[in-house]
Structure 1
Amino acid sequence: MRTEPLLAEADALLARGRAHNAERLLAPFVGREPENVGAWHRMARARLDLDDLTGALLAAQAAWHLDPYDAESLFWLSHARSRLADHAEAIAAAAAACREDPGNPRLHNRLAEAQLAAGLPTDAAEGLRCVADLAGYDADLQVTFGKALFAIGRPLSAREALGRALAIDFGHAGARAMLKTFDKAMSTAIDAASLALAADDFAESLRIHPGQSARRRTGAGRDALGHVARVALVWFLAALAGVGVLEATGLLVAPSSLYFTLLLAAGTAGCVSTLARPAG
């Protein structure tokens, strides 16, 4: 199989949000051609999208070992390290990428994101101050700059940065989402002290703590299981009541085994619903 068409197909799948398909496409390819740096980059991105953080780090490290001075490899290594809350390594990798390609705003954006994830909004804002002026065409970077500015208590400057992002890309989802977030945060800011508190809360919301993604995934799974169990419990109880009514009116003669089965199923659903209830 030719390399370029396969990587282009992986890019298209990733752009459409089909990371699972992209990973399945790439897995046998990197097995046959483990020296292909570009394939490892895409594998790292796919696994990050799938929240497979360990797998993403392994893919990023594979690319980095093949070319430790490649800015793209350093970018994905930093991304994976940030998601795993290995912040010192994430910042170091992003800074190295910026040194390798200092004119690339995407790399400076990654460095600022790594700093925000580490709880260093002042460093992120300072690092983007000059870059944001030079990269006036990059909406993503302007959004990250806005986040950093708001996190250090400069809401007006943050809104200006988001305004620039929307001027570049009027439909930018990240900029619009941040504006809503800012409005919600500012609704509680009535003086300097409450503004500082709102900024601190926002900065904390950007931080990534060890195990955070795993907790979110586990919580989502528990919520879904609990919902299914609760719906099943309602249906089993309704069926049990329906059988009782039909038998009482003489329309049905139900064997005792049917009652036992429905009671057992309802009890099981009730237990699962209780166990899957979110803690706290």
Structure 2
Amino acid sequence: MRTEPLPSAADALLAEADALLARGRGRNAERLLAPFVGREPENAGAWQRMARARLDLGDLPGALLAAQAAWHLDPYGVESLFWLSRARSRLGDHAEAIAAAAAACREDPGNPRLHNRLAEAQLAAGLPTDAAEGLRCVADMARYDADLHVTYGMALFAIGRPLSAREALGRALAIDFGHAGARAALRRFDQAMSTAIDAASLALAADEFAESLRVHPGRPSPRRPGPGRDALGYVARVALAWFLAAIAGVGILEVTGLLIAPASLYLTLFCAAGAAGCVSTLARPASRRGAGG
């Protein structure tokens, strides 16, 4: 009777690190891995996981050091090239990030995760046309990879093809209906399209969206408003519309003689409308506030 070999202590530790990373516990994974890579610095898999943990923690220089250690141990391994590319992108080293991702794609051309990484690197470098073109054929083959279709949709929107971009996100949601990245991208599309009324403003919205995807060396990525801020802005806009309608209604009733409104009522309505307008403006993304000025 044939029995499966028991996992080694190193395999068990790496599996535990994978479980921690999957649950978003990068700090715990880093603490688990640090003494291990000290004892076994030749283990490329441990360095790969260390790079991922440090990226999750925002330690970009540390992530690059770990990714480089993995790459030196396994220069043709797609996993080492993947994390090296990702660390380089986050630091704004775009030529190196694209080169590492392209090398990974050459090593395993049928792996959609690697093509997705290459497209992400190109978007971070401000090359949305390259990203969209590179994913065009891959997207037809990778019908099971929701992440890739999200990246493809973002690349399409960035080159001014919003309808095709929404189709790509629709395919992502068909694969994974609860995909957080796809739903976040749809919200960003709606925000960008709210200022597009003709071809020129659509092109401007696409350019601003593409710029929002770029990573500039030495500059942190701009913080994007979360769902709570979006909801607050929506409520404020609805309230503003109701207050303005109330002011108009009171004015009409007073002109027709059906109501004699005290000055305090107008003052209250105008103050409420002003407050709602301020909240609505502050809750909008900074890029849209600038466009409006």
TM-score normalised according to structure 1 size? 0.76
Q: How many residues align?
A: 216
1:30 partner amino acid = V
Q: State the partner residue of 2:89.
A: 82
* Aligned partner of residue 12 in structure 1, secondary structure: helix
Task: Compute the displacement of 1:129 (Å).
Answer: 0.1
Residue 111 of structure 1 pairs with residue 118 of structure 2: yes
> Are the equivalent residues in 2 in contact too, given 1:41–1:72 (CA < 8 A)?
yes
Task: Compute the displacement of 1:210 (Å).
Answer: 1.2
Task: Compute the displacement of 1:68 (Å).
Answer: 0.6
Equivalent of residue 11 in structure 2, options 4, 26, 36: 4
> Are the equivalent residues in 1 in contact too, given 2:215–2:221 (CA < 8 A)?
no
1:72 partner amino acid = E
Q: State the partner residue of 1:277.
A: none
Residue 26 of structure 1 pairs with residue 33 of structure 2: yes
How far apart in 1 are the matches of 2:221 and 2:108? 33
Q: State the partner residue of 2:20.
A: 13
How far apart in 2 are the matches of 1:177 and 1:215? 16
Residue 191 of structure 1 pairs with residue 198 of structure 2: yes
How far apart in 2 are the matches of 1:22 and 1:213? 24
List structure 1 runs of 4+ shifted beyond 6 angstroms. Answer: none
What do the CA deviations read for 1:232-267 (whole angstroms, capped 9, x no partner)? xxxxxxxxxxxxxxxxxxxxxxxxxxxxxxxxxxxx
Q: State the partner residue of 1:152.
A: 159
Equivalent of residue 91 in structure 1, options 95, 98, 107: 98
Judged with a 3 Å threshold, the aligned counterparts in structure 2 of structure 1 residues 214 and 186 are, in CA distance, closer, same or farther, namely closer
Task: Compute the displacement of 1:213 (Å).
Answer: 3.0
How far apart in 1 are the matches of 2:96 and 2:217? 14
Q: State the partner residue of 1:175.
A: 182
Judged with a 3 Å threshold, the aligned counterparts in structure 2 of structure 1 residues 215 and 182 are, in CA distance, closer, same or farther, namely closer
How far apart in 1 are the matches of 2:87 and 2:106? 19
How far apart in 2 are the matches of 1:193 and 1:26? 52
Task: Compute the displacement of 1:5 (Å).
Answer: 1.1
Task: Compute the displacement of 1:4 (Å).
Answer: 1.1
Task: Compute the displacement of 1:168 (Å).
Answer: 0.0
> Are the equivalent residues in 2 in contact too, given 1:51–1:213 (CA < 8 A)?
no
> Are the equivalent residues in 2 in contact too, given 1:26–1:43 (CA < 8 A)?
yes
Judged with a 3 Å threshold, the aligned counterparts in structure 2 of structure 1 residues 121 and 214 are, in CA distance, closer, same or farther, namely closer
The sequence identity of aligned pairs, in percent, is: 86
Equivalent of residue 130 in structure 2, options 115, 118, 123: 123
TM-score normalised according to structure 2 size? 0.72
How far apart in 2 are the matches of 1:130 and 1:47? 33
> Are the equivalent residues in 1 in contact too, given 2:123–2:214 (CA < 8 A)?
yes
1:1-280 equivalences in 2 (<5 Å)? 2-213=9-220
How far apart in 1 are the matches of 2:219 and 2:118? 20
Unaligned 5+ segments in structure 2 are 1-7, 224-293
How far apart in 2 are the matches of 1:197 and 1:182? 13
* Aligned partner of residue 220 in structure 2, secondary structure: helix
Task: Compute the displacement of 1:202 (Å).
Answer: 0.2
How far apart in 2 are the matches of 1:23 and 1:122? 37
Unaligned 5+ segments in structure 1 are 217-280
How far apart in 2 are the matches of 1:46 and 1:16? 11
Judged with a 3 Å threshold, the aligned counterparts in structure 2 of structure 1 residues 214 and 197 are, in CA distance, closer, same or farther, namely closer
Task: Compute the displacement of 1:215 (Å).
Answer: 8.7
Q: State the partner residue of 2:267.
A: none
1:110 partner amino acid = R
Task: Compute the displacement of 1:212 (Å).
Answer: 2.3
* Aligned partner of residue 213 in structure 1, secondary structure: coil
